[in-house]
Chain A
Amino acid sequence: MLAFLAKRMLAVIPVMAIVAVVVFLLLRLSPGDPALVIAGDNADPEAVQRIRVALGLDQPLVTQFWVWLRHMLSGDLGTSIFSKLPVTDLILQRAEPTLSLALATMVFAIGVAIPLGTIAGATAGSWLDRSLMAVSVVGFSLPAFVLGYCMIYVFALQLGWAPVQGFTSISKGFLPFLHSIALPALTLGLAYMVLIARITRASVLEMMGEDFIRTARAKGVVERLVVTHHALRNAAIPILTIIGIGVALLISGVVVIETVFNIPGIGRLVVDAILKRDYPVIQGVILLFSAVYVLINLAIDVGYAFLDPRVRY
């Protein structure tokens, strides 16, 4: 068990190292002079040179990398070119809305997807299964921002049930918070929910064909327990896996949804940074989100060991 945990944790190191190298190289090896791109087309040469020095682009590549890596490891993600504030501070200021949105979305999506997917998988071919599959294709095909505008149009503009845009902190009360987060979370969560529900359905359905299901039935176990205790329990690993992989979907979604609903979170931060080509901020956010993604998937990997005794040895 310990060996398994250690192995998993060690496996994160090369992955994060490669993420770091890729992010680092993106800036340095991109076609054209990034300093020139960042400065804009009609910047004077001095300004370009200043940016170049600020980014350390005048140093040899390997030196740049070590300096950069040392900074990153000590938690220093650099300084924004425009606001001159440390990127770490910028991110921390914007963390609450993004975190709230992501958590609310996960709770909603997982809470709906697993029961729906399980029932659909256990009753494959039924009307519920068919309609879930139909909804799921549509859910996959609607871009988050399109769905967001539809939601705003229907629920905010036509029905007036929710605010059109903006974010209310949970410190101002749970209900106002929920009121402001509901539409963005639904919008962001649909694709994630559909993804989890599809995998749940497919895995439960696959498990329903396994020999141990027949054994359970032969023992006289009631069908509800056959489905949950045997099929769903064994389908847990693919479901957990997709919950982890789907976090990437959430991260991409956050960037777009925060723009649609005008939520002042990390997503907005990075969009603004992109438009201004504030590269240290972009780089900081990418590193942060990648690290979050890798750590969530590490946690899920560790979760396997608890769910499946075969993994432990």
Chain B
Amino acid sequence: MTLLSPAQADEGPRNPFLGLAAQALRNPSVLIGGFIVAAIVIMAAAAPLLGTVDPVRINPAIRLKPPSDLFWFGTDLFGRDIYSRVVYGARSSLMVGVSVAACAIVFGVAIGLVTGYFRRLDVVVMRVMDGLMAIPTFLLAIALVSLTRASVGTVVAALTIPEIPRVVRLVRSVVLTVREEAYVEAAISVGTPTPLILLRHILPSTIAPLLVLGTYVCAQAILVEAALSFLGTGLPPEIPSWGNMISEGRTFFQVMPRLVFLPSLFLALTVLGINLLGDGLRDTLDPRIAKRM
């Protein structure tokens, strides 16, 4: 009896994940977005090495100076160096964005996996999530920060809580779909215990969509943090953040638009990079959505 080789015997074992990763790296959105994000991350990490001075040092003698060799982007109304503040501002934004995305995913996955698989919990948890989702994200965040003293921790918490229901819904929808797959039934029929089924057969399917959602949550968090700071209720004013800079600059907007536009530019560029990365990843990693593209 002759033994059959796989129909596609070309290149030996090939993990479908690796193929997707290679495909993602060829996607122009991923490349451009990744490049922007990498540049901003390097800028944030290497801030002290990039010719910056102390971004919070106040010097009333040099208020509102135009750009010069000494102050590349000029100074603000407290005489602080705008260039240094913009560079250091990347740290605040990235930190808030990444922490919110990470926290929302950790909590969301835990809740989503369990509720998706155990139908009894599902009803209760999803009602609570519906209720949370009914409060517009931004208002919930405002309410949360307005009650507590402004600090990085409370801002991160306030931005994370409204995002959790979204992660839960995504994870739950993946669980509900995958649970019906024949290979999950097959795993049940060979006696695989439920926790193992969740980890081995269901969790991996959530990775790609979560990666995509994670980028969106991150971008959203950066935007909302900036908006909160803009309204004067976000990060404490002494922290150099793009939102704080725009907020302080807006009174002088008509005479010195650069106070608003310089931090805005970096803010928009960062969010654009992350969004591009997310769009590209979605197109390559999530075949159901990619099919529509």
- Do A and B contact each other directly (Cβ–Cβ < 8 Å)? yes
A interface with B by C-beta (< 8 Å): 14-19, 21-23, 26-27, 30-32, 34, 37, 124, 137-138, 140-146, 149-150, 152-153, 157, 164, 202, 205-206, 209, 248, 251-252, 255-256, 259-260, 270-271, 274-275, 277, 279, 282-283, 285-286, 289-290, 293-294, 297
Contact B131 A14 (CB under 8 A): yes
Can you list 18 A-B pairs, Cβ within 8 angstroms, ordered by A?
A: A14-B127, A19-B131, A22-B135, A26-B147, A37-B147, A140-B219, A145-B226, A145-B227, A149-B260, A206-B291, A206-B292, A252-B139, A255-B138, A259-B230, A270-B139, A286-B135, A294-B134, A297-B134
Given that A30-B148, A149-B253, A157-B254 are contacting pairs, would A23 and B134 also be in contact in the complex, using a CB cutoff of 8 Å? no
Q: Main secondary structure on chain A at its contact with chain B?
A: helix
Residue in B138, B231, B268, B292 whose beta carbon sits within 8 Å of that of A202 in the complex:
B292
Residue with the greatest number of chain B CB neighbours at <10 A, chosen from A140, A144, A157, A283: A140
Contact B136 A137 (CB under 8 A): no
The interface size of chain B toward A, counting residues with CB under 8 Å, comes to: 48
Residue in B136, B137, B246, B279 whose beta carbon sits within 8 Å of that of A146 in the complex:
B246
Q: Would you give the shortest CB distance from A72 to chain B, in whole angstroms?
A: 15
Residue in A140, A205, A274 whose beta carbon sits within 8 Å of that of B231 in the complex:
A274
Residues of B within 8 A of A153 (CB): 257, 261
Residue in A141, A143, A164, A248 whose beta carbon sits within 8 Å of that of B227 in the complex:
A143
- Kindly state whether residue B59 has any CB partner on chain A within 8 Å: no
Contact A141 B136 (CB under 8 A): no
Residues of B within 8 A of A274 (CB): 142, 146, 231-233
Q: Would you give the shortest CB distance from B149 to chain A, in whole angstroms?
A: 7
Q: Main secondary structure on chain B at its contact with chain A?
A: helix
Mark interface residues in B253-293 (1 if CB within 8 Å of A CB, else 0).
11001001100100110011001100100000000010111
Top 10 closest pairs, chain A to chain B, by CB: A18-B131, A252-B138, A141-B272, A146-B264, A30-B147, A141-B271, A248-B136, A251-B136, A274-B146, A206-B292
Roughly how many angstroms separate A95 CA and B147 CA in the complex, as a whole number?
A: 25
Contact A141 B275 (CB under 8 A): yes
- Kindly state whether residue B250 has any CB partner on chain A within 8 Å: yes
Contact B135 A275 (CB under 8 A): no
Contact A17 B131 (CB under 8 A): yes
Residues of A within 8 A of B279 (CB): 137
Residues of A within 8 A of B223 (CB): 143
Contact A293 B134 (CB under 8 A): yes
